[in-house]
Structure 1
């Protein structure tokens, strides 16, 4: 099973000072050595990926606990919009279904409570795995 087939992967992005920031995310296979997910343009992930394409990925559970026996993989990632984002949206909706509606509602409620509303899933991320 490839990383794109996992329910969650632990995506580690890096701050400008090199500090690692791990975050569990959904993932979908996009093709040869590529996996994807969506995020918000206002998320920390998107902000960190805007300045570095270096990421580490590893299978995990919803809380970010890595799967026993799995190894971290160094990869690169890029933010996408347009047709690439639409392809990711279709695959995420097919794979995760009703969960996408629940997370959107929870994100909206959280944004209202925190008074910091950010767009939901308006950017795609394409991760390219090494050969």
Structure 2
């Protein structure tokens, strides 16, 4: 599913998503920001994230879809002067999770290894897919 986005948003998203991780800032009900580094993939002008359903970011996105994304490393350190983009996050349905997993497998070798380990160990990890689009 491709959503029309402005060229400026798409260009910023592509700059931010060059690395393996992005800093995903979600907001609590009282407005306080919570920053989390997450693995992501960009496809068709949308940033996708996979996460377990019981994480705080899922709860915060259910309350308010407002997010801010920026490039970061695996520890969540955002480089000085890095671009930030405000967007809207939404939780995707069950049928879309497999598509996002396919995107992740294509993008990163590490995610492929995690998926193989899950199959070998017969672990079924419930996941939620998050899509971030232009606000």
Equivalent pairs, count: 116
Unaligned runs of 5+ in 1: 106-118
Shift of 1:5: 3.1
TM-score, normalised with respect to structure 1 = 0.77
Question: What CA distance in whole angstroms lies between the structure 2 residues aligned with 1:96 and 1:20?
Answer: 28
Q: TM-score scaled by structure 2?
A: 0.75
Contact 1:5/1:27 (<8 A) preserved:
no
Show the counterpart of 2:86. Answer: 74
Compute the RMSD of aligned alpha carbons: 2.3
The residue number in structure 2 matching 1:85 is: 97
- Helix, strand or coil at the partner of 1:50: helix
How far apart, CA to CA, are the structure 2 residues paired with 1:75 and 1:56? 6
SS state of the match for residue 86, structure 2?
Answer: strand
User: Cα distance 1:102–1:83, how it changes in 2: closer, same or farther (>3 A)?
Assistant: closer
Are 1:58 and 2:70 counterparts?
yes
1:78-117 superposed Cα distances (whole Å, 9 cap, x missing partner): 0112232111101112222334645997xxxxxxxxxxxx
Q: How does 1:36-51 map to 2 (within 5 A)?
A: 36-51=48-63
CA pair 11-42 structure 1, distance change in 2 beyond 3 A = same
Q: How does 1:1-131 map to 2 (within 5 A)?
A: 2=14, 3-32=16-45, 34-99=46-111, 101-102=113-114, 120=125, 122-129=127-134
User: Moved runs in structure 1, 4+ residues, more than 3 A?
Assistant: 98-105
Distance 1:45 1:104 in 2: 26
1:39/1:120 contact within 8 Å kept:
no
